[in-house]
Chain A
Amino acid sequence: QVQLQQWGAGQLKPSETLSLTCAVYGGSFSGYYWNWIRQPPGKGLEWIGEINHSGSTNYNPSLKSRVTISVDTSKNQFSLKLNSVTAADTAVYYCARDFRYIGMDVWGQGTTVTVSS
C-alpha cells in the first residue's frame, strides 16, 4: 500500500520561503507524476504543480514565478518551495500521486501552513 508522508514548517512570516517535502513509501517512484495541491481555509482545491521522476515539471501559471518543485529519486521524495509568501498563501498543502488517466489516487495527510507577521 503506497503512502505519502509530508512535512515542513507550519508557521511563516510574510516574504519567507515555504518549504515542504513529501516521501513516498511502499511503491514505485517512477512512472508517476507527483503533485502539490493547496486548499485555503474554507475554500476549494488549487493545483500548484507537478514533477515526474526524471524532473520534468508543470506549474500553475498563477504561481509559476514563485514555485519550484524538485525531486530526489534516491530518497523517493519530492519537495515544494514557494518564495515570497503572503497571507494569501495560508492553506493546507497536500502532496498527491498522479498516474496519468487514473487521477490523483494517493494523497498525503496535508500540512497546514499559516503566514502571519
Chain B
Amino acid sequence: QSVLTQPPSSSGTPGQRVTISCSGSSSNIGSNYVYWYQQVPGTAPKLLSYRNDQWPSGVPDRFSGSKSVTSASLAISGLRSEDEADYYCAAWDDSLSGWVFGGGTKLTVL
C-alpha cells in the first residue's frame, strides 16, 4: 500500500489530453513539493517534473502539473505514442522523514 495514491491505469488516444492524479496527506503533499517520474518499462525512472510544476530541460511543454492542498495532478496534452509509460508521483514526508512514492499509473496510448 503506497503512501501516495494514484490510479493504476489511464489511457487516451493520440492528440487527446489525459490527467493523472496523486493524493496524499498533510505530512507529504500538503507541506512539501510534488515530483513526477516517468518510467518506460525495463529502464530507470526519469525525472519529469519538480517543485510541483517545474520541468527539466527537454521535457515537452505538452506536460503540465498542479498541486492543491494534499493532491496533485499531471496533465499531458496532445498525447503521443512515446508518452506510453508508467508515471509516479513523489513527495517528502515530514512524519516519515523520507521520500514516499505513489503506486504508479500505467499510461496506455490507444
Contact = CB atoms under 8 A, between A and B. Distances in A.
A, B assembled together: yes
Contact of B2 (A37, A44, A102, A110): A44
Given A44-B103, A101-B33, A104-B37, A109 B88 contact: no
Interface of B: 2, 33, 35, 37, 39, 44-47, 49-51, 56, 88, 90, 96-104
Contacts of A110: 44
Given A45-B101, A60-B96, A60-B98, A107 B45 contact: yes
Given A45-B88, A60-B96, A101-B51, A107 B101 contact: no
A94 interface: yes
Nearest to A62: B96
A45 B45 contact: yes
A105 B103 CA distance: 20
A61 B49 CA distance: 26
Interface residues of A, number: 23
A46 interface: yes
A20 to B, nearest CB: 14
Contacts of B88: 44-45
Given A102-B50, A103-B50, A47 B101 contact: yes
Interface string A91-107: 00010100001111101
Nearest to A59: B98
A107 B98 contact: no
A75 B57 CA distance: 30
B45 A94 contact: yes
Interface in A36-86: 37, 44-47, 49-50, 58-61
Going nearest first, the 5 A-B pairs with the smallest beta carbon separation are A107-B44, A103-B50, A47-B99, A44-B104, A103-B35
A21 interface: no
Contacts of A107: 44-46
Contacts of A44: 2, 88, 101-104
Contacts of B97: 58
